[in-house]
């Protein structure tokens, strides 16, 4: 009886050894391969659906970085050059699907690092996946501070908080119009545009402005005449409108329809896009705005692009249009990941995470360092104004290419 | 004075709305087809006007009849080749079909024209009429392009009215609307009348698109917003009534304008759809609706 038990135990040992060999053999092979093979980055993107214009711009940003890195032989990991491979999934502009695909990228595709989906909401939702599996994740388009308030250690975003747009812009307007009193704010009733509208209200009140009008308009509004008639009645010196490109084109046109002549008009974010200037024509003159990056900025960088100028040139050559901040932040998360891996000298997730947290990266997008929560805090977003149909950066001083002008058509 | 300006805004907006809803009401009234494709036809007309202006320098207002003709041809073809196959099926079938077609057309436009928002920038712009320049007591501003669109909308509706009243094809359309079987017994070829009616609906959408091109941003994604307005106007003005389109359009424009003023701009859409529900409950035929067209 004893002998028989012994024999069974022996057999069990042999079997488990065999299973172990079978199981870990390929794993150890793949480990070896992992140290020389491509570095895999997961990127869930809204390539179809309402967010597809932004999704496509982000993808172009990732691609130009990847091509540039791979043309140079790859990322230098402690002396070995390893190429980059980006695994894309289209989440069809549906946030729940973005979260599922992020999970799939980690468990099925076994990516080493991750780029977040588009916007604050989807970034926050998908960040739990990254945190669970401890995958360093770079967020290219999340500006709301609420994204970073979960105490997560593996999430890093390139956009500074919303008030970093409203504060310097309000400061600049105040300096230029010291006697102005009244500001009117019209905000789209939507997460980000409303949040930024509220930030402008705070910034304006702080500097002694009287907020004479603050209203929200519904998504898909086809007519702003009533709101603008009221704003005209307030005789506001400064009008702030927030929303997306179609809203801002319509608001600007209807301001002209009602003969509104404020000293200053600020619109977030449409003027960052060339299509706003094309669609509003002369009406875009002297409209001010702010965004996290602008091709007119002049950063010298230690990344693969070398400078903002060279980046813009390369991008324009490849995609036949001038990159805006959405495309640029896509490339920025790329160079950021590359610099962090090169500084860490390894693709070890914890070490790369620590390298990211340490900050101090000079990129074409601006200098990047992060708060303990992971949001960029290290640069002042450019404030710009459309002058003679061109976008001129009017602040901060380090990157400005012209002075703020007052008066609109 | 503020209220007067808001009233003017509302009436002008209503004129634009009426131009959007005209063709939609006709097709729904006569064919009993809820043409989801209508909004996309408006957008297509706007794109045609945009390219005609930027590439060929044709003024959008001069382009209105050309857009109408082009869209008439497209509408006729779509109806004869596709929609006619389900014309006798329950209304949900043609609704599903035109819904599918609108997805198709929107995505074709998305591929062809990209998602960028565009707008016709008239050079020089038509500008505004400041009424206080003439009557100092009345401080009202009237944008000329909206005024022109309103005038065109009235003209289009008048034209449709004349067509239905005075021409033999118009009388045939009205006859089909009243009783398609009796009409065919009287020798009216209903298949042709259906196709022509659909074509006229599309032509009115194309004309509206050209009129809107200097006013609204143009994008393939705009079609649903136009369709939504057309729906509310038809219910408001009453199906099967040409003048109901004008009344419905202006009523909606004025209501939305005062709604935005009184309740805040975030509620103006809610207001128009609340109104729609109330009308459906209490007066399902609309303000001017009746059985039979005209």
C-beta atoms of A229 and B2 within 8 A: yes
Q: Do the beta carbons of residue B287 and residue B243 sit within 8 Å? A: no
DSSP sequence for B50-97: HHHHHHH---HHHHHHHHHHHHHHHHHHHHHHTGGGGTTS-HHHHHHH
Residue A394 parent element (H or E): strand A390-395
Cα atoms in the Cβ-side hemisphere of radius 13 Å centred on A244: 18
Which pLDDT value is given to residue B176?
A: 87
Query: Contact A291/A382 with Cβ under 8 angstroms?
Result: yes
Domain A39-160+296-368 -> CATH class: alpha beta
Shortest Cα distance, chain A CAs vs residue B144, angstroms: 8
**Nearest-angstrom CA–CA distance, B35 and B79:** 11
Per-residue pLDDT of chain B (294 residues; tens, 9 = 90+): 789 999 999 999 999 999 999 999 988 888 888 899 999 999 999 999 999 999 999 999 999 999 999 999 999 999 999 988 888 888 889 899 999 999 999 889 988 888 788 899 888 888 888 888 888 888 889 999 999 989 998 999 899 989 988 999 999 988 888 888 898 898 889 889 999 999 999 999 999 999 999 999 998 888 988 998 998 898 888 877 788 889 999 999 999 999 999 888 888 888 878 888 888 888 777 776 655 444
Q: Which residues of A touch B212 (CB under 8 A)?
A: none
Note whether B254 contacts A: Cβ–Cβ < 8 A.
Answer: no
Contacts of B253 in chain A (CB under 8 A): 223
Sign of CA dihedral A331, A332, A336, A342: positive
B-chain CB neighbours of A229 within 8 Å are: 2, 5-6, 9, 261
- DSSP string for residues in A104-127: HHHHTS--SEEE--SHHHHHHHHH
Are B128 and A259 a contacting pair at CB < 8 A? yes
Cis ω before A269 (30° cut-off from 0):
yes
Q: Comparing A117-126, A151-160, B75-84, B237-246, which segment has the lowest mean pLDDT?
A: B237-246
Residue A175: how many other CB atoms lie within 10 Å:
11
Nearest CA-CA distance, residue B9 and chain A, Å: 6
Nearest CA to B193 out of B4, B45, B60, B33 is that of B33
CA distance A158 to chain B (A): 25
Instruction: Say yes or no to pLDDT of A206 above 80.
Output: yes
Query: Closest residue of A to B226, CA-based?
Result: A222
Rounded Cα gap, residues A180 and A264, in angstroms: 10
Nearest residue to A159 via CA among A209, A108, A124, A200: A124
pLDDT at site A27: 44
Interchain proximity A217–B270, CB inside 8 Å: no
The neighbour count for residue B179, using CB atoms within 10 Å, is 12
Q: Is the Cβ pair A227, B260 closer than 8 Å? A: yes
Q: How far is A53 from chain B (nearest CA, A)?
A: 7
- Cβ atoms B161, B294 nearer than 8 A: yes
Who among B118, B258, B266 is closest to A278 (CB)? B118
Cβ B117–A227 below 8 Å, yes or no? Answer: no
Q: How many CB atoms lie within 10 A of CB B182?
A: 11
**Distances, alpha carbon A386 to alpha carbons A261, A272, A277, A282, A393, in Å:** 16, 9, 8, 10, 9
Which residue's entry shows tokens 């992060």? A370
Cβ–Cβ contact B118 with A under 8 A? yes
- At residue A26, does pLDDT exceed 70? no
Please report residues of A whose CB lies closer than 8 A to that of B121. Answer: 279-282
Could you tell me which of A141, A149, A139, A121 has the C-alpha nearest to residue A373? A149
pLDDT at A345: 94
Cβ-Cβ pairs closer than 8 A, A with B, add up to 107
Q: What ipTM, to 2 d.p.?
A: 0.89
Query: What are the structure tokens assigned to B265, written together?
Result: 């701009």
| Tokens read off for B216 | 């609204």
Residue B157: which residues within 8 A CB-CB, separation 6 or more? B18, B22, B242, B243, B245, B246
Packed helices B38-56 and B190-212: angle between N→C axes, nearest 10 degrees = 50
What is the per-residue pLDDT across A54-112, written as a single tens digit (0 to 9) for each? 899 999 999 999 999 999 999 999 999 999 999 999 998 888 999 999 999 999 999 99
Any alpha helices (H) in chain B, and if so which ranges?
2-31, 38-56, 60-81, 91-113, 144-166, 168-178, 180-185, 190-212, 223-237, 242-263, 268-282
B261 and A230 within 8 Å at the Cβ level: the answer is yes
Phi/psi at A114 (nearest 5 deg)? -140, 145
What confidence tier does A33 reach under pLDDT thresholds 50, 70, 90?
A: very low
Reply yes or no on whether the pLDDT at A228 is more than 90.
Answer: yes
Interface contact A53-B13, CB threshold 8 A: no
b/e for A199-218, b at 16 or more Cβ within 10 A? bbbebbeeeebebbbbbbbb
A223 and B146 within 8 Å at the Cβ level: the answer is no
Nearest chain B residue to A221 by CA distance is: B269
Location of each CATH 3.40.50.2300 domain in chain A: 39-160+296-368, 163-291+383-399
What is the chain A residue with the closest CA to B125? A282
Q: What is the pLDDT of residue A368?
A: 95
pLDDT above 70: residue A32: no
Between CA B162 and CA A216 the distance in angstroms is 43
Instruction: Give which of A191, A192, A240 is closest to A212, Cα–Cα.
Output: A240
- What is the four-CA torsion angle of B268, B272, B277, B280, rounded to 10 degrees? 170
CA distance A318 to chain B (A): 18
**pLDDT score of B289:** 61
Q: Which residues of B touch A220 (CB under 8 A)?
A: 225, 228, 269
Cβ atoms within 10 Å of B87's Cβ, excluding its own = 18
- Does the pLDDT of residue A23 top 80, yes or no? no
Superfamily the domain A163-291+383-399 falls into? Response regulator (3.40.50.2300)
For residue A308, the SS3 value is: helix
pLDDT of residue B271: 82
Q: Which residue has the tokens 């390139």?
A: A158
> What is the rounded CA–CA span in Å between residue A263 and residue A35?
60
Q: What is the pLDDT of residues A272-292, one digit of tens each?
A: 888 899 999 999 999 999 999
A interface with B, Cβ–Cβ below 8 Å: 50, 52-53, 186, 189, 215-218, 220-227, 229-230, 233, 245-246, 249-250, 253, 256-259, 275-276, 278-282
Q: Smallest Cβ distance to B6: which of A226, A281, A282?
A: A226
Q: Does the distance separating the beta carbons of B258 and A279 come in below 8 Å?
A: no
Q: What is the mean pLDDT of residues A350-373?
A: 95
Q: A225 vs B217: CB contact, 8 Å cut-off?
A: no
Q: Which of A190, A216, A223 to mutate to test the interface with B (most CBs of B within 10 A)?
A: A223
Q: Does A160 score more than 90 pLDDT?
A: yes
In angstroms, the Cα distances linking B245 to A15, A98, A227, B157, B242 are: 82, 44, 26, 8, 6
What is the pLDDT, as a whole number, of residue B31? 82
| Residues A221, B222: C-beta atoms closer than 8 Å | no
Average pLDDT value for residue range A326-352: 95
Give chain A's length. 409
Q: Which two tokens stand for residue A263?
A: 């000293």
A208 dihedral zone (left: phi>0; alpha: psi -120 to 50; beta): left
Cis omega (within 30 of 0) for bond into B245: no
Average pLDDT over residues A253-268: 92
> Which residue's entry shows tokens 């005449």?
A225
Mean pLDDT of chain A: 88
């Amino acid at each position: 009886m004893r002998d028989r038990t012994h024999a069974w135990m022996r057999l069990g040992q042999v079997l488990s050894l065999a299973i172990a060999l079978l199981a870990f053999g390929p794993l150890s092979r793949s480990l070896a391969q992992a140290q020389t093979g491509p570095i895999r980055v997961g990127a869930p993107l809204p390539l179809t659906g309402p967010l597809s214009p932004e999704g496509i711009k982000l993808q172009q940003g990732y691609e130009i970085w990847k091509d540039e890195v791979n043309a140079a032989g790859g990322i230098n990991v402690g002396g070995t050059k390893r190429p980059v491979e980006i695994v894309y999934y289209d989440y069809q502009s549906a946030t729940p699907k973005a979260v599922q695909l992020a999970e799939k990228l980690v468990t099925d595709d076994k990516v080493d690092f991750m780029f977040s989906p588009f916007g604050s909401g989807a970034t926050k939702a998908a960040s739990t996946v990254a945190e669970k599996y401890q995958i360093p994740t770079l967020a290219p388009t999340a500006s709301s501070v609420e994204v970073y308030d979960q105490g997560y250690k593996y999430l890093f975003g390139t956009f500074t908080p919303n008030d970093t747009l409203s504060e310097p812009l309000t400061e600049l307007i105040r300096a230029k119009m010291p006697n102005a009193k009244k500001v009117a704010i019209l905000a789209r009733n939507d997460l980000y545009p409303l949040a930024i509208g509220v930030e402008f209200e705070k910034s304006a009140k702080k500097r002694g402005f009287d907020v004479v009008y603050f209203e929200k308009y519904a998504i898909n509004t086809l007519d702003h005449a009533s709101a603008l008639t009221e704003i005209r009645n307030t005789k506001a010196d400064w009008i702030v409108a927030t929303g997306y490109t179609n809203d801002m084109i319509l608001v600007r046109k209807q301001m002209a329809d009602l003969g509104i002549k404020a000293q200053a008009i600020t619109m977030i974010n449409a003027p960052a896009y060339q299509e706003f200037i094309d669609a509003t024509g002369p009406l875009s003159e002297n409209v001010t705005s702010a965004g996290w990056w602008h091709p007119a900025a002049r950063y010298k960088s230690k990344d693969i692009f070398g400078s903002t100028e060279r980046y813009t040139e390369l991008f324009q050559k490849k995609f036949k249009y001038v990159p805006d901040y959405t495309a640029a932040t896509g490339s920025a998360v790329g160079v950021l990941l590359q610099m962090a891996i090169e500084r860490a000298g390894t693709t070890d997730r914890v070490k790369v995470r620590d390298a990211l947290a340490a900050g101090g990266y000079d990129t074409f997008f601006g200098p990047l360092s992060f708060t303990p929560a992971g949001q960029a805090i290290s640069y002042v977003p450019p404030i710009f104004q459309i002058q003679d149909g061109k976008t001129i950066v009017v602040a901060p001083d380090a990157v400005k290419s012209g002075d703020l002008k007052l008066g609109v058509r | 004075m503020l209220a007067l300006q808001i009233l003017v805004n509302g009436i002008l907006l209503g004129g634009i709305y009426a131009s959007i809803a005209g063709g939609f009401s006709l097709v729904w009234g006569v064919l009993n087809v809820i043409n989801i494709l209508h909004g996309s036809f408006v957008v297509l007309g706007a794109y045609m006007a945009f390219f005609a202006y930027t590439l060929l320098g044709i003024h959008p207002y001069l382009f209105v009849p050309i857009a109408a003709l082009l869209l008439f041809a497209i509408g006729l073809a779509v109806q004869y080749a596709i929609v006619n196959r389900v014309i006798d099926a329950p209304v949900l079938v043609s609704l599903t079909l035109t819904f599918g077609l609108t997805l198709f057309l929107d995505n074709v436009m998305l591929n062809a024209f990209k998602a960028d928002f565009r707008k016709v920038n008239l050079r020089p712009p038509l500008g505004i009429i400041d009424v206080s320049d003439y009557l100092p007591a009345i401080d009202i501003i009237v944008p000329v392009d909206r005024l022109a669109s309103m005038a065109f909308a009235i003209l289009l509706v008048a034209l449709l009215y004349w067509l239905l009243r005075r021409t033999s094809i118009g009388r045939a359309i009205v006859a089909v609307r009243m009783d398609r079987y009796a009409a065919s017994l009287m020798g009216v070829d209903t298949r042709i009348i259906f196709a022509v009616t659909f074509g006229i609906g599309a032509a009115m959408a194309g004309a509206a698109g050209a009129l809107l091109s200097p006013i609204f941003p143009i994008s393939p994604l705009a079609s649903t917003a136009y369709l939504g307005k057309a729906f509310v106007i038809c219910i408001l003005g009453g199906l099967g009534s040409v003048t109901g389109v004008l009344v419905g359009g202006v009523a909606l424009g004025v209501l939305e304008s005062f709604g935005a003023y009184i309740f805040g701009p975030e509620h103006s859409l809610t207001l128009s759809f609340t109104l729609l529900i109330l009308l459906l409950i209490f007066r399902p035929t609309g303000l001017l609706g009746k059985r039979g067209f005209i």
